[in-house]
Amino acid sequence: MDRASAIQQRERAFAEALKADGLRMTHQRLEVIRELARATHHPGADDIHRAVRERVPTISLDTVYRTLAALAARGLIERIAAPGAARFDPNVSGHHHFVCMRCGRVEDLDAGDVAPVAVPPEAARLGTVTFVRVEMTGLCNDCAAGGPH
């Protein structure tokens, strides 16, 4: 599937989830969905708000937060804890993350590049584990070298 088709499919899934949660599909919410569906990085709510506000000056930060919360609750985006503010990942396929503890940079790591993590017996007793997500934290090369943040 090409990138444009993947974006359209993601937009449709996001819109259907919001409607299923009883949220009206307003122009503002549609623009949040579009911004997030096109994201190739891990934007924060403020990043999305700033980008959408260029097209829709009346959008509120609350609308952005409620939209993100509804999508995360349905498992359509992932909320990533990062220094400063949470970031959001519209790519929920199997992959891991590297998070810089200083600047908050978040990068995807292919799941195949990480050795499989054994599921501890305690987790297996709680239920069926379908995927293990690894979050690696440290300092990115720029921060480790004392570069710009």
| For residue 100, pLDDT beyond 90 | yes
pLDDT of residue 148: 62
* Domains of the chain from N-terminus onward: 3-80 (1.10.10.10), 93-144 (3.30.1490.190)
pLDDT of residue 106: 92
> Mean per-residue pLDDT for 59-88?
91
Core vs surface per residue 95-128: b (16+ CB within 10 A) or e: bbbebbeebbbbeeeeeeeeeeeeeeeeeeeeee
The predicted-structure confidence for 30-59, as pLDDT tens digits, reads as follows 999 999 999 988 999 999 999 999 999 999
- What's the rounded Cα separation, in Å, for the pair 88 and 38? 12
pLDDT of residue 34: 93
Indicate the average pLDDT of the chain. Answer: 88
| For residue 147, pLDDT beyond 70 | no
pLDDT of residue 6: 86
